Amino acid sequence: MSFTFSKATKKQSRLRFDIEGPPGSGKTYSGLAIATGLCPPGGKIAVIDTERGSASKYAGQFTFDVLELDNFAPAKYVEAIAAAEAAGYDVILIDSLSHAWNAKGGALEMADKIAKRSSSGNSFNAWKDVTPEQNKMVDAILQSRAHVIVTMRVKTDYVLEKDERTGKTAPKKVGLAAVQREGMDYEFDVVGRMDHTHSMTITKTRCSAITDAFIEQPGEQLAKVLRDWLTDGVAEPEPMRMPAPVKVDAVQARLEHPRLKMLFDQLGAPPAKRLATLERYPDNDKLIQILEGKVKEEDLAKEKIKGVFAKQLAGVHDEPAPGQEAPQ
């Protein structure tokens, strides 16, 4: 056999996107919004719904077809993906992939059942049967001709931590590992972590335009950046920008709040960023505290938001390039 190197090209044109987050953070909604932005004109979106019709509550806002699964064996996912492919869907949203791990019929239950049937009662050997099933499901996702977006739940862990200010020990939320086989996130081009403000922090990406991006209410604009990236041979994707804020008079008026104005000026926050921030934090006092760095953080997620938020206000990530101002 001869080993020949050939010039590397970006052959891939289909996205593999993993959206992770706790319940209510925006996995389903953002998945639908991004799927809608990725879908070519006249194309169609298939949703494989394991959450008992939870995607369908957004049927008024997005156009998609849905298949509800009630058994979550990895093989069922493979069948559902194959059915979506056969029907010619352009984007497949799997909501959620966590069920294939820890819900009825999922990998953990399969391993458990096999172990109980075996003479040793040991689950170690059971994985010899379950892992290939799991791998087939991953292959079906990776080989699909459609864009595939998956969602994964995260589990919350707590550690006891001493608060230096008060000297008291209190439980603190940490970890937030995705509910799936360890390392599942490696299979995806982009991994986004949702938080309770429905913002997404990009924790892993092969698309450099969104490295470490913090995206409020991700949707169409993120999809556009990804579409550009997937289209080989075209110009570099535009840097990620904040969505154009919806202007509300009350928010406009708050722009003139003397203390807020001074803090924004100090941070060098551009006008669009000020509006978006004011919309996100309707309480002036609370926002002032945040901008002054005085808010006691209750959990890691908030800490992270604050960190990225402060960085954004300083204009690190997403300033529009000259001549590319977001339409107002």
Ligand X SMILES: Nc1ncnc2c1ncn2[C@@H]1O[C@H](COP(=O)(O)OP(=O)(O)O)[C@@H](O)[C@H]1O
For Mg ion, give the closer residue by CB, 152 or 207: 152
181 binds, among Mg ion, ligand X, none (CB under 5 to 8 A by kind): none
Least distance between Mg ion and beta carbon 62 (Å)? 13
| DSSP states along 113-165 | HHHHHSSS--HHHHHHHHHHHHHHHHHHHHH-SSEEEEEEEEEEEEEEEE-TT
245 binds, among Mg ion, ligand X, none (CB under 5 to 8 A by kind): none
Q: What does the block give as tokens for 32? A: 């639908």
Q: Which of 236, 227, 268, 257 is nearest to 12 (CA)?
A: 227
198 binds, among ligand X, Mg ion, none (CB under 5 to 8 A by kind): ligand X
105 binds, among ligand X, Mg ion, none (CB under 5 to 8 A by kind): none
Which residues 120-149 are close enough to bind Mg ion by CB under 5 A?
A: none
For Mg ion, give the closer residue by CB, 56 or 131: 56
Which residues 24-63 are close enough to bind ligand X by CB under 6 A?
A: 24-30, 33
For Mg ion, give the closer residue by CB, 54 or 98: 54
Regarding 25 and contact with Mg ion (CB under 5 A), the answer is: no
For ligand X, give the closer residue by CB, 159 or 246: 246
CA 301 to chain centre: 14
Asked if residues 32 and 58 have their Cβ atoms less than 8 Å apart, the reply is yes
Whole-number Å distance between alpha carbons of 95 and 56? 11
218 binds, among Mg ion, ligand X, none (CB under 5 to 8 A by kind): ligand X
Site string for Mg ion, 51-70 (x = CB under 5 A): ---x----------------
144 binds, among Mg ion, ligand X, none (CB under 5 to 8 A by kind): none
Give phi and psi for 38, each to the nearest 5: -80, -25
Least distance between ligand X and beta carbon 44 (Å)? 20
Q: Which of 20, 26, 28, 74 binds Mg ion (CB under 5 A)?
A: 28
Which residues 189-208 are close enough to bind ligand X by CB under 6 A?
A: 198
Least distance between Mg ion and beta carbon 148 (Å)? 17
Q: Please classify residue 32 by burial: count the beta carbons closer than 10 Å to its beta carbon, then call 0-12 exposed, 13-18 middle and 19+ buried.
A: buried
Whole-number Å distance between alpha carbons of 324 and 241? 10
Least distance between ligand X and beta carbon 182 (Å)? 21
**Which range of residues in 110-118, 161-169, 211-219, 266-274 is near ligand X by CB under 6 A?**
211-219
Least distance between Mg ion and beta carbon 97 (Å)? 12
Backbone region of residue 192 per phi and psi (left: phi > 0; alpha: psi in -120 to 50; beta: other values): beta
Longest dimension (CA), the chain: 74
Return the SS3 of 174: strand
Give phi and psi for 304, each to the nearest 5: -65, -45
Whole-number Å distance between alpha carbons of 301 and 173? 8
106 binds, among ligand X, Mg ion, none (CB under 5 to 8 A by kind): none
Task: Please work out the total of residues on this chain that contact ligand X, with binding judged by CB under 6 A.
Answer: 14
**Geometric angle at alpha carbon 171, from 168 and 174, rounded to 5°:** 130
Whole-number Å distance between alpha carbons of 295 and 287? 9
217 binds, among Mg ion, ligand X, none (CB under 5 to 8 A by kind): ligand X
For Mg ion, give the closer residue by CB, 58 or 127: 58
Q: Which residues bind Mg ion (CB under 5 A)?
A: 27-28, 54
